[in-house]
Amino acid sequence: MSTTFQLDTSTSRAHPTPAPMKRLTIPAIRKRKQDGHTAEPVVMLTAYTARQAQLLDPHCDILLVGDSLGQVIYGLPSSVPVTLDMMIAHGAAVVRGSYHAVVVVDMPFGSYEASPQQAFASASRVLKETGAAGVKLEGGEAMAETVAFLVARGIPVIGHVGLTPQAVNVLGGYNARGRSEAEAAKIVADARALDAAGAFAVVVEGVVEPIAVAVTEAIGAISIGIGGSARCDGQVLVTEDMLGMFERVPRFVKRYENIAETIASAAQRYAEEVRARTFPGPDQTYQPR
């Protein structure tokens, strides 16, 4: 038996609950790719809160606590200002709200680049304080030594190549990568280096489709596309993008709902009823007995 946290939707509180060990494991996900082919693609979405995790959990193999929370939750201009403490707080919430999916937490900018030792100190904090199963970090060949260092010490790692948002200041924006032969070759080489270092999966973001396919074919690890190709071994999106929470829709995002419109409409109806003094009504107030 293991202890997980079930979210009581009537009180919005998480309660420790003994439950059978049913959570997916990283080795089980990694084994889906056999002889270069993944029969069942890996489903990954971002999650930042316990309630969001609870809703997404039954449908996902991996919940990624992405440093995209900087923009999505905190309104920051990029993911660069996100701190390790922020990632740990949200990572712990997602673990509490999930039961089935593997939870992986992004390593924020500045928490791992200096040395493998720094990366281990940060990643071990993440796993200890959140209960997550692994971490994700950006960078290719330059991070291969760090990935190998972490994996050798029991920390599963997802790599990230192509468009790497933490390097936005170097890249000069969020444009698609791999349009030149040299850049395309580097992306594939980066993915190979991460694979050789022991990463169990590699996110391939914002690259021209043939490069995403080439990466998928070149590595034994699971390739997870975001702006890549349907031929990747899995896919990830920022949940808020997929749900239509923002006006801007990146090219690689498909909107499955328009939640922003639903929220705005509900808030408008609430405001109208408050101003008309029709809310709260008899059903929402306590009367003398």
Beta strands 134-136; 102-106: pairing state: parallel
**pLDDT score at 183:** 87
CA atoms of 222 and 201, how far apart (whole Å): 4
Clarify whether 113 is annotated catalytic.
Answer: no
Nearest in space to 130 (alpha carbons), one of 167, 92, 100, 93: 92
Q: Which of 113, 205, 217, 240 is catalytic?
A: 205
Its pTM surpasses 0.85: yes
Residue with tokens 């493998």: 116
The per-residue b/e assignment along 172-188, b for 16 or more CB within 10 angstroms, e otherwise, is eeeebbbeeeeebebbb
> Which ranges of the chain would DSSP assign to H, the alpha helix?
26-30, 50-56, 69-72, 84-97, 116-130, 141-152, 168-171, 181-197, 209-218, 239-242, 259-275
Ligand-binding annotation for 136, yes or no, is: yes
The domain segmentation of the chain, as residue ranges, is 39-242
**pLDDT score at 176:** 65
Homologous superfamily assigned to 39-242 = Phosphoenolpyruvate-binding domains (3.20.20.60)
Ligand-binding annotation for 67, yes or no, is: yes
Would the CA dihedral through 68, 122, 141, 150 be positive or negative? negative
Ligand-binding annotation for 68, yes or no, is: yes
Ligand-binding annotation for 138, yes or no, is: yes
Nearest in space to 148 (alpha carbons), one of 200, 104, 84, 103: 200
Asked whether the beta carbons of 205 and 44 are under 8 A apart, the reply is no
No. of helices (H) and no. of strands (E), the chain: 11, 12
Bridge partners of residue 140, in order along the sequence: none
pLDDT in tens, the chain (289 residues): 234 556 666 666 666 554 544 899 999 999 999 999 999 999 999 999 999 999 999 999 999 999 999 999 999 999 999 999 999 999 999 999 999 999 999 999 999 999 999 999 999 999 999 999 999 999 999 999 999 999 999 999 999 999 876 655 555 455 666 578 888 999 999 999 999 999 999 999 999 999 999 999 999 999 999 999 999 999 999 999 999 999 888 888 999 999 999 999 999 999 999 999 999 999 999 999 8
Give Cα 105 to chain centroid, integer Å.
7
